[in-house]
Amino acid sequence: MTAALPAWIICVAATAGVIARPFRWPEAIWAVTGAVLLVAFGLLPVGSALGAVAEGTDVYLFLTGMMLLSETARAEGLFDWVAAAAVNHAHASSARLFALVYGAGVIVTTFLSNDATAVVLTPAVYAAARKSGAEPLPLLFACALVANAASFVLPISNPANLVLYGGHMPPLGAWLRSFALPSLVSIVATFLALRLIERRSLRRACRRDVDRPALSRAGRAALLGIIATALLLMAVSAFDRPLGLPTCLAGAATALTVSLMARRSPATVIGAISWSVLPLVAGLFVLVEALDRTGVVGALARALGDAARGSEQFAAAGAGTIVAFGSNLINNLPAGLIASTAIDQAHAPRLVVDGLLIGVDLGPNLSVTGSLATILWLSAIRREGEEIGFWRFLKVGATTMPPALLVALGARLLIG
């Protein structure tokens, strides 16, 4: 118990650094520094810290594969090609372009994950905004918010889903019965709220027709690689297997094949990737391990079990709401890890687990550091010269997340 307070202080300080980014230092610096301090002060054994880092192996592999796919597509002009198609289909309407972007985000998130929307779709959307002359922020916010709003359509739509359910992922039919309606109302509510917020910007006309660049043979190969990866993830998910290694292999194979076709060194793609996201995730895993050792997870498990025995509906709604807001304090990936451990210890019923999942997936739309997908999105837009701070995102998130969370949890309780 004597070590619990210092561990809490370091974890809170590290999390605050990730959120606030003092001196504009990357988020990874604060998470890794917190992890190192926990070990240096003897608050967390080296073996436990290394074990926590190892727990994230599947996530690191998954992100590596997605970043390889994204950078390969960028290098071959696939994003510019997609952007031109979107602009021409918008027929000079910023509002129509916004709807096209949001719809594309639903599809990419559903079949490739919310991280793919952040990494793969966001650059294409920024390119579309640039080509059309439309205000970029509404389109970029659409990418960020739909990545979380649609992240529980399928189990593969968010790696946090696999973390939360662990080795007891429900069959696809049972999943759809639980989440089809909550996903639908979440997607619609988020769209309507964001559309309302950005209505002034979306009144502006944009360019009607832009030149659509020809897609090279290597560019077509990159597109096929992304489609093949989506099909692979669907197949792997059907067998309830980890997604990290297949995604990494698919991304590496696509990058290598396309580089050979384009007669370009694969090192060019590898060097252009923002690798700092991997130590960020590793640091978050270590922070969660430290919190677990303070006894916080055991206390949460007891509270969750007591609430579920009193009323499953109340426990599902309450736990889902708490974890939704809590995910913005520690990121939803470690929040999912904590919730998963608490679920196992409390033997929580399915309805409560589903409520927690909705909170873990949808809650991060409140703040820019709430989910890994949003941090990846932030990294993607920084590469394009855009900067959205914590308070700017919170202003949008405070309007869009609570109503979507309310209707999604309500829909799940209605199903029973």
186 CB-near residues (< 8 Å, 6+ apart): 149, 150, 152, 358, 362, 404, 405, 407, 408
Distance CA 221, CA 241 (A): 26
The whole-number pLDDT of residue 207 equals 75
The whole-number pLDDT of residue 194 equals 96
Helix, strand and coil content of the chain, in percent to the nearest 5, comes to: 80, 0, 20
pLDDT, averaged across the chain: 87
Domain boundaries, the chain: 4-415
303 CB-near residues (< 8 Å, 6+ apart): none
Could you tell me if 65 and 46 are in contact, meaning their C-beta atoms sit under 8 angstroms apart?
Answer: no
Q: What is the dihedral of CA 237, 243, 249, 255, to 10 degrees?
A: 90
Dihedrals phi, psi of 200, to nearest 5 degrees: -70, -45
Could you tell me if 145 and 190 are in contact, meaning their C-beta atoms sit under 8 angstroms apart?
Answer: yes
pLDDT in tens, 216-238: 999 999 999 989 988 888 888 77
Average pLDDT over residues 410-415: 93
User: For residues 259 and 73, which has the higher predicted lDDT (pLDDT)?
Assistant: 259
Q: Give the residue from 73, 106, 108, 56 showing the smallest Cα distance to 286.
A: 56
The whole-number pLDDT of residue 166 equals 60
CB atoms within 10 A of CB 165: 19
Tokens representing 378 are 């932030």
The whole-number pLDDT of residue 67 equals 86
Average pLDDT over residues 202-215: 78
Whose tokens are 């599809």? That residue is 107
Q: Percent of the chain, pLDDT > 70?
A: 98
Average pLDDT over residues 183-205: 94
Out of 66-70, 252-256, 278-282, 293-297, pick the least confident: 293-297
SS3 at position 205: strand
Distance CA 360, CA 185 (A): 16
Tokens representing 386 are 């855009």
Give me the amino acid identity at 231. L
CB atoms within 10 A of CB 304: 24
Q: Give the residue from 111, 94, 74, 149 showing the smallest Cα distance to 366.
A: 149
pLDDT in tens, 75-106: 888 877 877 788 788 888 889 999 999 998 89
180 CB-near residues (< 8 Å, 6+ apart): 153
Could you tell me if 148 and 374 are in contact, meaning their C-beta atoms sit under 8 angstroms apart?
Answer: yes
Distance CA 341, CA 188 (A): 32
The answer to whether residue 1 scores a pLDDT higher than 50 is no
